[in-house]
Amino acid sequence: MEKTSASNFLETIIAADLAAGRVSSVVTRFPPEPNGYLHIGHAKSICVNFGLAETFGGRCNLRFDDTNPEKESQEYIDSIQADVRWLGFTWDGEVRFASAYFQQLFDWAVYL
């Protein structure tokens, strides 16, 4: 769905960036830490991130910030995925995990 007029400051900025060619598509992400159930603040973030991607024909990634394994569990991962779906959204491609690319992040830090 192509957005023709912006209705809030985020949409105004995104529309301007797209119109100016600074970006060619909208890519957002929802990065929860799977250490508990979602709360109303998470729901707001889901609606903003997935909603902006949807409004501008972009995509939104679900990327778990699984950096504290002592407090995280599969139960919370499953619950978060179910909640995103319950709110009416689907993520782009496979679910991502920060732990899957720790080595790449470390290599970039060393490089910098």
Confidence class for position 2, pLDDT limits 50, 70, 90: low
3-class DSSP state for residue 11? helix
Q: Which of 98, 62, 66, 96 is nearest to 80 (CA)?
A: 62
Say if residue 87's pLDDT is above 80. Answer: yes
Hey, where are the domains in the chain? 9-111
Fold classification of 9-111 is: Rossmann fold (3.40.50)
- Residue 18's pLDDT is what? 98
Contact 6, 12 (CB under 8 A): yes
